[in-house]
A and B are shown apart, each in its own frame.
Chain A
Amino acid sequence: MPLSAVARAVEAVLIVAVEPVPTGILAELLELPVDQVEVVCDELIESCHSDNRGFEVVRIAGGLRIQTHPDLAPYVERFANVGVSSRLSAAALETLAVIAYKQPVSRAQVAALRGVNVDGVTRLLEHRGYIIPVGRATGPGQAVLYATTDAFLERLGLDRLDQLPPVEDLLPGPEALAELEEQMRPVGDA
């Protein structure tokens, strides 16, 4: 059965959403009462199953999200591994090293140090379980802070972080880091 006009709109919004979309926001967008939106969401969820789509719409954390159908995981996983070299690039290794020594640290701080955007690399490192978000900075923007994981230590054959070789700390102090970060803001926020 073809989708209703409202269900199509919900689907389009979920397609571009990166995080689960609360039904309240959908209701606002569609200018409809929430309970009516819930009915539309049910229609959408149902249609994905009846049309045998490769993805499903699920209710999660008070919102809706599109995700791949579980039985297609083998293909998705194979795709995720396409083009992934079996070694970390020099850039990724440097980012990981900075996080290891300066943790907890925000992406913007690492980027300020390395002089390049590190969003893609941190996503990769997080996805592979070498780093993990451990909290948020207190300053404006409340940037996510990252730290290395036990898996990271395990891969390196270490028990504790302080077993990493000592390095001469060439880094400016936290104030200078904050300043660097400040300078980057226009770029990062653009």
Chain B
Amino acid sequence: MSETTTHNGHDHAHAGHHELPFWRKYIFSVDHKVIGIQYAVTALFFLLFGFTLMMIMRWQLAYPGQPLPVIGKILGETAMPGGVMAPEFYNQLGAMHGTIMVFLGVVPLAVGGFGNFVVPLQIGAPDMAFPRLNMASYWVFLPGCVLMISSFFFPGGAAQSGWTSYPPLSDIASVGQTVWCFSMVLIITSSLLGSINFIVTIVQLRAKGLSYWRLPFFVHAQLVTAFLLLLAFPPLEAATVMQIMDRVAGTSFFLPSGLVVSGEQLKVAGGGSPLLWQHLFWFLAHPEVYVLILPAMGIVAEVIANNTRKPLWGYRLLVYSVVFLGFMSFVVWAHHMFMTGMGTTMSTFFQTTTMIISIPSVIILTCFIMSLYGGNIRFTTPMLFATAFLPMFAIGGLTGLPLGLTASDIYLHDTFYVIGHFHYVVAPGTLFALFAGVYYWFPKATGKQMNATLGKIHFWTSFVCINFVFMPMFFQGMAGLSRRLYDPTVYAHGRGVQALNVVISLGAWGLGLSQIPFIVNFFMSLKRGARVAENPWNATTLEWAAPSPPGHGNFLTEPVVYREPYEYSVPGHANDYSPQFVEGS
């Protein structure tokens, strides 16, 4: 099927403007849509890559010490001597999985991808406020990613001190850690550039009539996210610079005096503080976890409103909650450090703030569930993923409570319970929301609809498998199994839950297979998907006023906003949706 044989009136957006050379249009493009897609595709690739690392790792956890067939040989003798994973390689896979999933996968997809593509469209802007800065942000990000991946090939391999890179371990680790630091500096810089752009765009470029209370919830979520990135990332950048100094210039910001490593006194000045890193790291990384979840919540809000065919319940409450959440996320970071020996005042303070921050999450979830009430729910593929988000995020969020209370965290800290907690929020939570976003906005980005049957297969298989992956982790954690353990069977309590490791690994590989329908669907729909008009979902927000895909400058006529974002099923209307951009009602 050729792309020109369409009868939809929107296609003239493609025509009529002089062609830019290929490299300006698709590679060094300044168009937010192209940059958004670049970010999204890069991020999807890294999600798959990070997942692959984990699928390899899961072999060792399920069958400790047994040679991994075929792949073990391919990975070579240093990583997998005799096909059996070396412990240092296990640690590299773990650290890189965490780093890649968070910084190269989810954030770039949620913020760089969806944020870039959707936000200007949803606010009726022709582009981001600083298109060239936007391009720069991607082109700083990409080298950062390449550098990060290349670290596997440095002597000693990639970073292996966890995604948290706690010194002194990270300070004395092999050169891969330096590479990790440098690529983090690039990625952080890219995020900073991006967040400036988002804030300015959302504050300055909203279409006529689009007041703050008429913004789609997704835009509010992105705005708060941008502030989190803007103000929380620099301290980590500072910390990373200091770690680079420690590693390259021999300083000891994070090294106390009198360290003895492998029987040798470490020849450094000493006098530094390992806890300083942890404070600076978590000062970023706690807000960072909300960077992972807020855009996801934004997507879920869009999809739920669209598919329940009714206004979001408690829209203003949602906005207040998300702003409050963003603000509070700066004062809870030390709940990751309860076991570092902090005193009782400080830990009481941080466990209190942690409990406080769970309240807006409860409110947000309540609003979403109440939005289902009284709806006319269409179970489209995006809606399936968005629906699943709710109970999955609930499990993840609820299991945050025992971690946030100091007394129970004594037992649960650094066990697989923590792994279970946050994967429920980031994988069947955020990741599912991101899938929902891909299915939801794919038609806008490409002008083609994704296949619904493959989408449903993708959803149901993923949904089942992912619970087999993460649910057993709570039981392992309860049994006391530490995380980051190359061989859990060293411990008696680990042997007690080893059977679950097999279940988890099978679940993970099943989850891997479940992605095949998605990947097939993604590429097939690009080529052969059904052509769609501007508004295939009968949605109300502004991005659906632009052609699919939108041309340069996005809108054919300058959009004007007449009403609230989610006016579905307004009584007395023929249609069950009244778009923001259509006059009169």
Do A and B belong to a common assembly?
no
Q: Which residues on A are within 8 Å of B, measured CB to CB?
A: none
Q: Which residues on B are within 8 Å of A, measured CB to CB?
A: none
